[in-house]
Amino acid sequence: EDQVTQSPEALRLQEGESSSLNCSYTVSGLRGLFWYRQDPGKGPEFLFTLYSAGEEKEKERLKATLTKKESFLHITAPKPEDSATYLCAATTHGSSNTGKLIFGQGTTLQVKP
Amino acid sequence: DADVTQTPRNRITKTGKRIMLECSQTKGHDRMYWYRQDPGLGLRLIYYSFDVKDINKGEISDGYSVSRQAQAKFSLSLESAIPNQTALYFCATSDLYRGRETQYFGPGTRLLVL
C-alpha cells in the first residue's frame, strides 16, 4: 500500500534555530513529491514539487530535497511567521490518471521569538 | 480575488439534513477535487472530475455525491448528513501540463453535523 509518513509530528524551534522536517514515502513508482504549508483554518498552500532524486528547490528560508526514499524540508533561520503545519504528499505513476495525492499527517512547526 | 473559492466557509447542520458545499475557480483548470481533512487522518479524496462530463469516486465517496455544473464549478452534496461527516472540506483544482500536475486548494469549509 502506498504510504507517506512525516516526522516529527510537532516541532518547536527558537527563532533562528535551523532544522529539517522529514517525509518518507513507500509508493509504487513516485511521480511527484509535493510540499504544502497549511495555516490554521486555511487551505494548503503549494510550496514545492520535486520529481527526481537529487532535485532541490528553494524559496526564501525553505529548501526541499528529494532522495529515493524520502524528502526533507530544511528551514534556515526560521521566523515566527514560518509557524504552520507542513504537509507532504506524493503522486505515483499508478495514480497519474487520477491525480490522487497521497498525504502524510503533517508536521506542525512552532517558531518562538 | 482568490483563485479557488468555497461557500459556505462554515456550516452547522443536523443529522439527516441534505447540504451542499460549493466550489468555484477562476484558474481555468479542467481538473477539480474534493477532499476532507480530519485530525490524525490527514487529507482524503472524496471525488474528482477531469471535465464536465467526467466524475470519479475517490477513496471515501460513500454518503457523498457531486455535480460538475461547469468547468469552473464543482459542488459536493451530503445526501443525509451524519455526525462522522463533521470535518474540514477542501476543494482543489489542477491542470495537467507536459505530464505534470499541481493541485491548488481553496480556503475550506468547516462542517459540523449535530
- Residue A95 confidence (pLDDT): 60
Residue B108, exposed/middle/buried by CB under 10 A (0-12, 13-18, 19+)?
buried
- Residue B68 confidence (pLDDT): 97
pLDDT of residue B62 exceeding 60: yes
Mean per-residue pLDDT of chain A:
93
Q: How far is B33 from chain A (nearest CA, A)?
A: 9
pLDDT of residue B1 exceeding 80: no
For residues A95 and B103, give the distance between their C-alpha atoms in angstroms, rounded to a whole number.
14
Q: Are A105 and A4 in contact (CB under 8 A)?
A: no
Share of chain B above pLDDT 90, in %: 85
- pLDDT category of residue B112 using cuts at 50, 70 and 90: very high
For residues A74 and A97, give the distance between their C-alpha atoms in angstroms, rounded to a whole number.
31
Give the pLDDT confidence of B20-60 residue by residue, as tens digits: 999 999 999 999 999 999 987 889 999 999 999 999 999 89
- Residue A82 confidence (pLDDT): 97
- Residue A96 confidence (pLDDT): 56
Mean per-residue pLDDT of chain B:
93
Partner residue facing A42 (CB), from B56, B103, B108: B108
- Residue B89 confidence (pLDDT): 98
For residues A75 and A22, give the distance between their C-alpha atoms in angstroms, rounded to a whole number.
11
Grid cell 528529494 — which residue?
A66
What are the per-10-residue average pLDDT scores of chain A (113 residues)?
A: 93 97 93 95 94 95 96 97 97 72 94 97
Partner residue facing A98 (CB), from B56, B102, B104: B56
Q: Which residue of A has its CA nearest to B101?
A: A99
- Residue A93 confidence (pLDDT): 77
CA terminus-to-terminus distance, chain B: 33
Q: Which residue of A has its CA nearest to B93?
A: A99
Q: How far is B84 from chain A (nearest CA, A)?
A: 19
Q: Are B47 and B1 in contact (CB under 8 A)?
A: no
| Count of helix runs (H) and strand runs (E) in chain A | 0, 11
- Residue A97 confidence (pLDDT): 63
Q: How far is B78 from chain A (nearest CA, A)?
A: 21
B69-88 residues touching A, CB cutoff 8 A:
none
Q: Which chain B residues are within 8 Å of A46, Cβ to Cβ?
A: 102-105
- Residue B40 confidence (pLDDT): 79
Q: How far is A101 from chain B (nearest CA, A)?
A: 8
Contacts of A97 (CB under 8 A, 6+ apart): none
B99 has a chain A CB within 8 A of its CB: yes
State the virtual CA torsion across B41, B45, A107, A5 in degrees, nearest 10. 80
